[in-house]
């Protein structure tokens, strides 16, 4: 699949040291970005909104259509190579298209 999988790193700058989950966001294709977004908003994702890959793909396409479109709802957006801002914007598009889903608190 790619190098998107999360891994833990130790942050030694605080005491006690924290383990942080990091994600490599070097997206190489559409499917990798779908998987990345799915790992956050799909069933059992970090912020589980029970989204399907189909919903994610549709929201990504809507987002990509709006990038650099001066008539878009949010003009001036740019593609960030599949970074966390892109992921959060896709989440916002899904919330607009399919309705807001609150994230369960554990």
d(CA 75, CA 88): 16
Using 50, 70 and 90 to split pLDDT, how confident is the model at 4? very low
Residue 55 has pLDDT above 60, yes or no: yes
- The reported pTM is 0.74
Work out the angle at residue 48's Cα, subtended by the Cα atoms of residues 4 and 81, and round it to the nearest 5 degrees: 35
Tens digit of pLDDT for each residue in 21-44? 445 556 679 999 999 999 999 999
Task: Please tell me the predicted confidence (pLDDT) of residue 103.
Answer: 80
Helix or strand (DSSP H, E) at 56:
helix 53-66
The pLDDT value given to residue 74: 83
Residue 21, pLDDT score: 47
Domain boundaries, the chain: 26-98
pLDDT confidence bin for 17, thresholds 50/70/90: low
């Amino acid at each position: 699949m790619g190098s998107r999988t999360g891994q833990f790193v130790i942050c030694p700058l605080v005491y006690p040291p924290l383990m942080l989950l990091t994600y490599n966001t070097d997206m190489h294709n559409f499917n990798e970005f779908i998987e990345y977004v799915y790992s956050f908003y799909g069933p059992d994702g970090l912020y589980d909104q029970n989204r399907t890959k189909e919903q994610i793909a549709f929201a990504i396409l809507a987002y990509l259509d709006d990038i650099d479109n001066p008539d878009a709802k949010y003009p001036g957006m740019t593609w960030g190579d599949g970074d966390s801002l892109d992921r959060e914007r896709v989440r916002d598009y899904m919330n607009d298209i399919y309705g807001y889903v609150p994230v369960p608190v554990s």
